[in-house]
Structure 1
Amino acid sequence: MVKYPNVTDYIKIPRMLKRYSFDEKMRICNQFSRKLMDMHGIISADKMEKQPYPWELETFLLFCIKASPEYQHGDFNGKNENKFINMIRGIRDFTQPEMIKIEGTIKFADYFIVAMSLIQFESQELFYSKLYRYSYIFNFSNSILNMKDEFIKKFGIEYNEFMYFGSFLTFLYGSQKFITETIMNYIVIKIFPKPYKELTITKEEYLEQLDSITVNQTDYVTCLRPSYKYPFILSNNRTYLPLPHIIGRAVTSSLLYRITEGNNSLREKIGKEVLEDYLYKILCEANIYDEKYKEQDYIAEHHNQSKTLDIMLREGDEYLLMDSKSSVPNIGLRLYNEDSHQKEIKKLTENVIQVYKHLRTYFMNHYNPFKGKPIVPDEKLWGAIVVLEDSYIRRNIVYENAAKTLEIEQNSDEYVWMQNHIKITNLYDIEKVSFTGRSIISEFANQRDSGLAGDYPLVSAIKEHPTIINKDYLSFKKNLLAKFMDVTKLLNEEGIIGK
């Protein structure tokens, strides 16, 4: 993004925005948001280098909502666009006051990396990969849990309606073609009225939700945004879509938050029944592992009945045991909250200890599902905790805490082995590797050999535009494209768009 000499003071932005009409503020947000997108819902690093970042636009929108009522009708047209850019620069240059107090310390780095990672990385994830995952989750059914029924009970419609709506809008805005109000009205009122209604909030309700998240504008850069759940804002009988780049999140992960809000029992069932099954499915479809097993019962010490880890894999003479977790980051991590950080570290530490005990004690001593029950040497044995969403807590903090609990000396051979062979990763990165038919074990080994044990695993394993081998995923994308064509054909037949 071009740098301008005049940078608007962050604290003054809401007062300045009262000089601009609500229409104009929503227009400028939409204009720059869609510049970040392509038709596949990807926000590439190249595009972000030349534009305001997604999270800066999201912060700017919070100020726009807060700056009400407006008393002038200024605009950002022509040279006035520089005033918008200067506000964005003010957001970019801002440092939260509490963070200034610990600037220069390792604590500052830990808090800053977590908060910024939470607002940055999801916007760069492949949209269709997330749609595929959540289509599986919300259409899942077995003897214990019927997610399709749960979804209809919550939203009144099947998930596919949200999926088609969100993906078509992403496709439309990502095309960078001019979208008339007539086209948008027809799409939201005639074709997808129900998902549109569920994704819309009034400006007053938006402000209430924002204030329930935080009343401090110093938190706006990193805090949770109501737009994640409600991308459409209704004001004065007119609906706005200020941030089209957020649609993907609204029709995937945010719907899971909404359906499980205040219902821990359902979230636990989804983790146990759905996410474990989905993880096993995509690992099998990578077509690279020689043996694959789901969780099994076994008899532990003192004749106690226990369970293995969720998934056990063999590739050649290498073995990987995985534990699936439906956990998501605490929203307090976005606000640099000390208690939230400590709780997240404690949770991840317990996860690592659990997997360590399985690898070092329970596996082979009490259970071994693999053919011939082989004795596996240390360098061939791997463990992984797969979380639904990563909190980006620095891994070395977790390993150090686990070592202290397990009474393992730091820098000992056992500590080095634990760092290298037990990994915390997230479901998206597992998808990213598995859809291309690559090995999780090989990627872990590459990280070990690089000497960067404390880095986040799998993050850089696959570059942009990889070759996908997962046939079910490819078929899913093909069917989605066919739906796009159906909607486009309908718009043509109704004379909404040119033939």
Structure 2
Amino acid sequence: MEFNRIPIVLKRYDFASKMNICQAHSKEIMSINGLIDSNELRGKALPWDLETFALFSCITIGENSDYKFEDRKGQKRFAEIINAIKAYIPPKLELTQGNKFLDNFLIVTGLNQFQIQEEIRYIMYRYNYIFNFSNTKVNLQQEFTDKFGCSFEEFKSFGFIIHTLLSRELNKPISQSIYDYIIEKYSRIIQHLTIERENFIGLQKKITEDITQYIYGFKYFYQYPFISYNQEIFLPLPHLIIRSVTSSLLFRLTEGNNKLRELFGKEVLESYILHLCNLSTWFDEVVDEYPYKYKKNQKRTLDIMIRKGNQCFMLDSKSMSPRISLRNLGEEDVEHTLNRIVESVVQVYRHITVRFQEEYYPFDLKVDFLRENIFGAVILFEDSYIRRENIMNKAAEQLDITIGTEDYKFLCSNIKLLSLYELEKMIFQKEDVFQLLKSNRQNENKWFDFTIMDYSKENDIEFIEEISQTVENMQEIIIQFAHELIERGLISS
């Protein structure tokens, strides 16, 4: 089947059937911790394939037949559509060559595929901290309640209950009585996560102008997983429910509120990263940002400074999220994002090469750090997946550093761009961060990788106590919900 024929074919199918086939395949790829193992995804409709199918299904209005996907012919037709989606190459990728193709491919693939594969327990831990944060400058817990009229705890419980009930481990259909109870109990939550089909189309068409953008464009299912149509409510992509009650809520909370977004970056995100670093037992000292005076000028250190023995690690956080339009690969959007990240890299470089030890010294123990043992990182709240080499080369240009020189090698080997999720994984899994930094520094072939972790050791992981507690809290949500169902006679004990 040709990609551009998908809307024609979908017009013949009943809307409810399209939503149901989506949900059935979405459930197949869900596990309690997130998605099923990548090896098990082979041969299945992948999350991003299903998201594209769901987008076609919602936007293709005026169904003129009631064909069903549930019968054998319909299942065959569904497989043909998914294969057409898998095989399609958008023009913006098809028309680019060489490094430009790689640049664009990494951006759209990363934004489309990587975040959805993150582990639920880590995401829950992060947003539980964020949405319950309060200090003298910002009360995000109150901001959240004012915006949504209910607590994050309610969203979290609802999201995890839905995710668990539909995940592969449970392997049981939800009875209508249980479904009705969920709808009744969490009606306020569902209201915030539901959008009329017509309104969904209106929002979506503002950012995806034609079907060539359907695969990689942002999809509003992340914000509104429930679609209302003809007095029915559908959940086509349950694998997105956790994102809908975490990262998407933060976007909606801060959207159009620049002051709150700035406070989030300065107060909440910096506090969270400091909190993470203090959880590690590998560090000797962890110091947060402070003001200092140098030659009558008031200045500030980097956000977080870490010491282990005669090595140090200086962190600067970046709270920016990729523009929704970045997925459409507009040159202005790519350039804007690149420049923002380069600005942070330049700042970290200047701090660790000029200001640290010359203008300020944050640690209690006096150490004369060798240049090679001073590391820096920009911690990205959300990665944009712009090629690291492009970022470093532009940073070198702004710093007047010639490519290939010792200063350039130091820039690339000792300053890293790390996603917040990468930092979380290192801390939660008790990784020796400095060993990872040294290993990366010594291997020039890995300087521009998106990760510094060694994923060959994924089967030998030990978690910190806080993550074990998070898992226990998630289990408590399910246990409490089961008790409620038993009390109402909806399941047997």
* TM-score past 0.5 threshold: yes
Give 1:311-322 correspondences, 5 Å limit.
Answer: 311-322=304-315
Per the alignment, residue 3 of structure 1 pairs with none
Letter of the structure 1 residue corresponding to residue 344 of structure 2: N
Query: How far apart, CA to CA, are the structure 1 residues paired with 2:19 and 2:468?
Result: 36
Which of 467, 471, 482 is the equivalent residue of 2:476? 482
> Aligned-pair distance for 1:94?
1.0
Which of 391, 400, 409 is the equivalent residue of 1:416? 409
Greater alpha carbon shift after TM alignment, 258-267 vs 477-486: 477-486
How many pairs align?
Answer: 489
- Gap runs ≥5 in structure 1: 1-7
Per the alignment, residue 187 of structure 1 pairs with 182
- Summarize the Cα distance change of 1:142–1:211 in structure 2 as closer, same or farther, 3 Å threshold: same
> Aligned-pair distance for 1:43?
3.7
CA contact (8 A) 2:378 2:418 kept: yes
CA contact (8 A) 2:310 2:367 kept: no
Which of 229, 252, 255 is the equivalent residue of 2:223? 229
Per the alignment, residue 70 of structure 1 pairs with 63
Letter of the structure 2 residue corresponding to residue 249 of structure 1: R
Structure 1 residue 442 corresponds to structure 2 residue 435: yes
Query: How far apart, CA to CA, are the structure 2 residues paired with 1:424 and 1:133?
Result: 19
CA contact (8 A) 1:311 1:322 kept: yes
Per the alignment, residue 348 of structure 2 pairs with 355
Query: How far apart, CA to CA, are the structure 1 residues paired with 2:128 and 2:249?
Result: 11
CA contact (8 A) 1:44 1:124 kept: no
- Summarize the Cα distance change of 1:211–1:459 in structure 2 as closer, same or farther, 3 Å threshold: farther
Letter of the structure 2 residue corresponding to residue 15 of structure 1: I
Per the alignment, residue 270 of structure 1 pairs with 264
Deviations 1:207-230 (A, max 9, x none): 111112222111010111110001
CA contact (8 A) 2:163 2:241 kept: yes
Query: How far apart, CA to CA, are the structure 1 residues paired with 2:103 and 2:40?
Result: 27
Per the alignment, residue 199 of structure 2 pairs with 205
> Aligned-pair distance for 1:332?
2.3
Q: Secondary structure at the match of 2:136?
A: coil
Structure 1 residue 178 corresponds to structure 2 residue 149: no
> Aligned-pair distance for 1:465?
6.0
Query: How far apart, CA to CA, are the structure 1 residues paired with 2:453 and 2:143?
Result: 33
Per the alignment, residue 154 of structure 1 pairs with 147
Query: How far apart, CA to CA, are the structure 2 residues paired with 1:178 and 1:490?
Result: 18
Q: Secondary structure at the match of 2:269?
A: helix
Greater alpha carbon shift after TM alignment, 463-472 vs 275-284: 463-472
Per the alignment, residue 403 of structure 1 pairs with 396
Give 1:274-423 correspondences, 5 Å limit.
Answer: 274-300=268-294, 302-423=295-416
Deviations 1:177-226 (A, max 9, x none): 2122332221122x222111111111111111111222211101011111
Give 1:43-192 correspondences, 5 Å limit.
Answer: 43-76=36-69, 77-102=71-96, 104-174=97-167, 175-189=170-184, 191-192=185-186
Query: How far apart, CA to CA, are the structure 2 residues paired with 1:176 and 1:206?
Result: 30
> Aligned-pair distance for 1:472?
2.4
Per the alignment, residue 242 of structure 1 pairs with 236
Aligned structure 1 segments of 4 or more residues deviating by more than 3 angstroms = 458-469
CA contact (8 A) 1:42 1:127 kept: no
Deviations 1:261-310 (A, max 9, x none): 0011101101111111111111111211001100011112x311111001
> Aligned-pair distance for 1:418?
0.7
Structure 1 residue 33 corresponds to structure 2 residue 18: no
Deviations 1:79-114 (A, max 9, x none): 431211110111111111233222x32111101111
TM-score by length of 2: 0.96
Query: How far apart, CA to CA, are the structure 1 residues paired with 2:241 and 2:323?
Result: 22
Query: How far apart, CA to CA, are the structure 2 residues paired with 1:373 and 1:193?
Result: 58
Which of 219, 222, 227 is the equivalent residue of 2:213? 219
CA contact (8 A) 1:43 1:123 kept: no
> Aligned-pair distance for 1:458?
3.2
Letter of the structure 1 residue corresponding to residue 303 of structure 2: D
Which of 433, 438, 447 is the equivalent residue of 1:453? 447
> Aligned-pair distance for 1:41?
2.4
Query: How far apart, CA to CA, are the structure 2 residues paired with 1:440 and 1:48?
Result: 31
Per the alignment, residue 492 of structure 1 pairs with 486
CA contact (8 A) 2:225 2:244 kept: yes
TM-score by length of 1: 0.95
Greater alpha carbon shift after TM alignment, 206-215 vs 389-398: 206-215
Q: Secondary structure at the match of 2:30?
A: coil
- Summarize the Cα distance change of 1:291–1:114 in structure 2 as closer, same or farther, 3 Å threshold: same
- Summarize the Cα distance change of 1:465–1:136 in structure 2 as closer, same or farther, 3 Å threshold: farther
> Aligned-pair distance for 1:314?
0.7
> Aligned-pair distance for 1:462?
7.4
Query: How far apart, CA to CA, are the structure 2 residues paired with 1:404 and 1:339?
Result: 19
Query: How far apart, CA to CA, are the structure 2 residues paired with 1:321 and 1:463?
Result: 26
Q: Secondary structure at the match of 1:323?
A: strand
Give 1:457-472 correspondences, 5 Å limit.
Answer: 457-458=451-452, 460-461=454-455, 464=458, 467-472=461-466
Identity of aligned residues (%): 35
Q: Secondary structure at the match of 1:328?
A: coil
> Aligned-pair distance for 1:480?
2.2
Query: How far apart, CA to CA, are the structure 2 residues paired with 1:196 and 1:464?
Result: 36
